[in-house]
């Protein structure tokens, strides 16, 4: 990461230096910011100061964050559901509870580790721990993801995502029924003001984010919603659906619960020992369209709902 410069303004409320850095760079905890300061990787008006130094308006902070040590992922024999593959791309139906690429706390057991085992070497762009990866799905979101098998395919697909040529469609079960049954959510998305590890929808500020949606089935207190994100912000669909009062069912970050049982939906007495119907966010990337990087022709792939989401819908429909 290159040096980053910050000018202290009145709105910053003049905090101590380590807190200021952790607020401005969310991926850094205050303790990590303190380490950078002690390692003389932070300057205040060109000089080194203590982490507890209180800032004032008009000062300039320059932060140097050293790159993480390069860790090349290792192949791992994990099952993958291939929807399609050729010499240039592969399309995967990702199961829930599957992290896409290695990161802090997930060096093994990711989709990338499995891809390297099944497909062999994959091209990397700017990050060695993400070979073949051109877009992501959250850990507990299931569904379609395209992987590049050549450098040419990687660059072509990245360009398509950047230019918003790729069309993605998701199915979500929402906790609540949207008041407007079809519409567009245009709210920027940025870090939550106080909970820095989660995202929030913002009328002002945040990065531009747009999601089209339509309710395609309604049940008492729940709905099946088709969502089409036109941008690719972190947690976009989850945050946007929460912003209209209908979070994704069982979204442990943005909704009121993280699992649902048949007895809850059917309003019967609690069945001790019963397994939950759903224990992750009810969000599935069911359709993906893009231009094949070799042929230039548009290709479209679809996949059925996973069993946990289908089971919830079956119970809801049985009560009509």
Q: What is the pLDDT of residue 11?
A: 65
Sign of torsion, CA 257 103 79 300? positive
Residue 27: count other Cβ atoms within 10 Å of its Cβ.
Answer: 12
Query: Could you give the C-alpha distances from 13 to 9, 17, 51, 133, 169, in angstroms and in order?
Result: 8, 12, 16, 40, 42
The residue-averaged pLDDT of 51-62 equals 89
Q: How many Å apart are CA 193 and CA 187, to the nearest integer?
A: 16
Residue 189 is predicted with a pLDDT of 92
pLDDT of res. 246 = 98
Q: Tens digits of per-residue pLDDT, 166-202?
A: 999 999 999 999 999 999 999 999 888 777 678 889 8
Residue 72 has pLDDT above 90, yes or no: no
Instruction: Please report the beta strands in the chain, taking only residues with DSSP state E, as ranges in sequence order.
Output: 4-7, 42-44, 60-63, 82-85, 89-94, 142-148, 167-175, 182-186, 188-191, 199-202, 210-219, 222-229, 283-291, 298-302
**Would you state the pLDDT for residue 12?**
65
In 3D space, the residue among 306, 264, 266 whose CA is nearest the CA of residue 283 turns out to be: 306
**70: confidence class by pLDDT, cuts 50, 70, 90:** low
| Chain centroid offset of residue 128 CA | 19
pLDDT class of 295 with cuts at 50, 70, 90: very high
Lowest-pLDDT range of 31-45, 94-108, 259-273, 286-300: 94-108
Residue 144 has pLDDT above 70, yes or no: yes
18 labelled catalytic:
no
Looking at 74-161, which runs of residues are DSSP E strands? 82-85, 89-94, 142-148
d(CA 246, CA 240): 9
Q: Tell me if residue 12 falls in helix, strand or coil.
A: helix
118-141 per-position pLDDT tens digit: 999 999 876 677 899 999 999 999
pLDDT band per the 50, 70, 90 thresholds, residue 316: very high
238-249 average pLDDT score = 97
| Domains with residue ranges and CATH for the chain | 4-63 (3.10.290.10), 82-163 (3.30.2350.10), 168-318 (3.30.2350.10)
Bridging pattern class, strands 89-94 and 210-219: unpaired
Residue tagged active-site, from 138, 175, 251, 308: 138
pLDDT score of 68: 63
Asked whether the beta carbons of 247 and 262 are under 8 A apart, the reply is no
Tokens of 20: 């200021």
Q: Return the pLDDT at 10.
A: 67
Q: Are 198 and 254 in contact (CB under 8 A)?
A: yes
SS3 content of the chain, % helix, strand, coil (to 5): 20, 30, 50
């Amino acid at each position: 990461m290159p040096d980053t410069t910050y000018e202290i303004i009145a709105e910053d409320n003049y905090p101590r230096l380590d807190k200021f850095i952790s607020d401005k760079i969310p991926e850094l905890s205050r303790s990590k910011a303190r380490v950078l300061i002690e390692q003389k990787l932070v300057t205040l008006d060109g000089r080194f100061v203590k982490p507890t130094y209180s800032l004032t308006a008009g000062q300039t902070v320059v932060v140097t964050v050293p790159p993480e040590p390069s860790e090349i992922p290792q192949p791992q024999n994990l099952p993958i559901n291939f929807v399609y593959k050729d010499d240039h791309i592969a399309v995967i139906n990702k199961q829930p509870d599957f992290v896409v690429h290695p990161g802090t706390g997930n060096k093994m057991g990711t989709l990338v580790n499995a891809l390297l085992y099944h497909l062999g070497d994959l091209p990397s762009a700017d990050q060695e721990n993400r070979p073949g990866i051109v877009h992501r799905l959250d850990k507990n979101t299931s569904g379609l993801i395209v992987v590049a098998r050549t450098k040419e395919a990687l660059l072509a697909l990245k360009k398509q995502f950047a230019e918003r040529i790729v069309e993605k469609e998701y199915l979500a079960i929402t906790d609540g029924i949207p008041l407007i049954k079809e519409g567009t959510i245009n709210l920027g998305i940025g870090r939550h003001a106080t909970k820095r590890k989660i995202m929030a929808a913002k009328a002002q500020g945040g990065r531009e984010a747009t999601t089209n949606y339509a309710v395609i089935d309604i049940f008492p207190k729940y709905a099946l919603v088709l969502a089409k994100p036109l941008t690719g912000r972190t947690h976009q669909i989850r945050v946007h659906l929460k912003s209209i009062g209908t979070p994704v069912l069982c979204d442990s970050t943005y909704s009121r619960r993280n699992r649902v049982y048949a007895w809850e939906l059917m309003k019967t007495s609690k069945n001790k020992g019963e397994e939950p119907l759903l224990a992750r966010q009810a969000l599935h990337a069911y359709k993906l369209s893009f231009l094949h990087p070799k042929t230039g022709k548009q290709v479209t792939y679809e996949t059925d709902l996973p069993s946990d989401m289908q089971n919830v819908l079956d119970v809801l429909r049985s009560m009509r």
